[in-house]
Amino acid sequence: MRKRENNIFAGIDWVLILLYLTLVFLGWVSIYAATVSPLDTQILDFSTLYGKHIQKIGFGFILAIIAISIDSKFYERFSGVIYILTIVALVGLFLFGANINGATSWYRIGSFTLQPSEFAKVGAALALANFLSEPNRDLSNLKSQLNAFAILLIPAILITLQPDAGSALIYASLVFVMYREGLPAYYIVIGISAIVLFVVTLALGLKITMLSVFGLIAVFFIYLIKNNHLSIKREWPKLIAFYLCVGLFIFSVDYIYNNVFEKRHQDRFNILLGKTADTQGIGYNTDQSMITIGSGGLTGKGFLEGDRTQGKFVPEQHTDYIFSTVGEEWGFLGTTAVILLFTAFILRILTLAERQKSSFSRIFGYATAIIFFFHFMINVGMVIGLLPTIGIPLPFFSYGGSSLWGFTLLVFIFIRLDADKTYEW
């Protein structure tokens, strides 16, 4: 191993840093537009939300510099410790956490709040990378699979209990990282089919789904049998078991939806599936956000000219619905630019990750990319009315220190790992 050069900036991927800075800057501009009022005169007024956000960005930069100053070996060696610390922080919420908006997700120190679930993502990504990168790790064996799932499930369950189901969902996305590292494909296939069946069952109801899905499977089996891929004589128990599983699944989805889901959960799906048109109650946020985005048109109304943004028509616009500000003030051109920026950012991380020689670095980079991708997909999907209301932030855009810092740490730890890739061997 060669001695590392003294300059911490050697080997740094400046493209990624530039993309990061651009996103953070655009994020602040959007928060400014969403929270400024005509009476405000100063940008550095720290009593305003946009002023506070500048402080948060500043602190984020400090974290970033610390993150790239630390030796990359540190992250690998101490990943377990970091993971356990984040878990302890999550458990501690049940004792010392502050309840804000119905969820006990924050520590409150004076006027300052900290949301450990945003940092737990970093811990989980590190721990997963460490676990999967051990030599001879084989994800086709059940024990490894279970261990890896456990790493994700522990924080996911703790976060669900807060309750903050949206944030917990992100851990499920890390299964894609496991897939990349050799998890059998049927996990992904079963997972996606389950989601599709879930939505179809809710949209079409129990009977129609049962009939049509069974019909489709039958057609598929007949096709296989005709082409001699399947023998009904030998494999009929499998066929029946398959039918039973699918039937049971559809049935339990229907049951859970009607008997376990609370009204507010049902409402979210009903509105999305077009079963109820509700523009005043629960559907209000999404409806307002779509009107706001739609009213932007091709080129937008201009910076600070968005009357729906300035008129505070969209609830939670500076947090979960921040993307609607971009839509109104910068129009289709602005939203497309932001989407392309995010795409470039995520693809850049992914490309760099694939280039890593150390599997720890590769897996961590991959996890980072997937975490950003799911936040981006779920948040924007919700704001433009393609997904149900799930409250998770849009990275760098949504107001909030913890999420900004968590994302910053993910990016800059990866930049450090990436910068050291040439020295690993």
Residues engaged in binding other proteins (CB under 8 A): 37-38, 176, 179-180, 182, 188, 280-281, 290-291, 293-298, 307-308, 310-312, 327, 331-332, 335-336, 339-340, 342-343, 346-347, 350, 354, 366, 369-370, 373, 376-377, 380-381, 384-386
- Residue 351 Cβ, how far from other proteins at the closest point, in Å? 9
State the DSSP string of 324-345: HHHHHHHHHHHHHHHHHHHHHH
- Residue 86 Cβ, how far from other proteins at the closest point, in Å? 24
To 5 degrees, how large is the angle CA 92–CA 97–CA 98? 175
Cβ proximity to other proteins: between 11 and 385 the closer is 385
- Residue 83 Cβ, how far from other proteins at the closest point, in Å? 23
CA 83 to chain CA mean position, Å: 18
**Residue 163 preceded by cis peptide, ω within 30:** yes
- Residue 416 Cβ, how far from other proteins at the closest point, in Å? 22
> Is the Cα dihedral 181, 90, 78, 402 positive or negative?
positive
- Residue 414 Cβ, how far from other proteins at the closest point, in Å? 15
Cβ proximity to other proteins: between 82 and 170 the closer is 170
Q: Going by C-beta distance under 8 Å and a sequence separation of 6 or more, which residues neighbour residue 355?
A: 418, 421
Question: Which of 158, 170, 171, 165 lies closest to 97 in space, CA to CA?
Answer: 158
Distance CA(174)–CA(148), nearest Å, equals 10
Q: Going by C-beta distance under 8 Å and a sequence separation of 6 or more, which residues neighbour residue 19?
A: 341, 344, 345, 348
> Is the Cα dihedral 201, 206, 208, 209 positive or negative?
positive
Cβ proximity to other proteins: between 175 and 230 the closer is 175
Cβ proximity to other proteins: between 246 and 350 the closer is 350
- Residue 420 Cβ, how far from other proteins at the closest point, in Å? 22
Cβ proximity to other proteins: between 165 and 188 the closer is 188
Name the helix (H) or strand (E) containing 113. strand 112-114
Cβ proximity to other proteins: between 56 and 121 the closer is 121
Cβ proximity to other proteins: between 254 and 328 the closer is 328
Q: Which residue has the tokens 């089919």?
A: 193
Cβ proximity to other proteins: between 245 and 347 the closer is 347
Q: Going by C-beta distance under 8 Å and a sequence separation of 6 or more, which residues neighbour residue 55?
A: 46
> Is the Cα dihedral 177, 179, 181, 183 positive or negative?
positive
- Residue 4 Cβ, how far from other proteins at the closest point, in Å? 29
Cβ proximity to other proteins: between 231 and 279 the closer is 279
- Residue 321 Cβ, how far from other proteins at the closest point, in Å? 14
Distance CA(45)–CA(43), nearest Å, equals 6
Q: Under DSSP, is residue 99 helix (H, G, I), strand (E, B) or coil?
A: strand
- Residue 192 Cβ, how far from other proteins at the closest point, in Å? 11
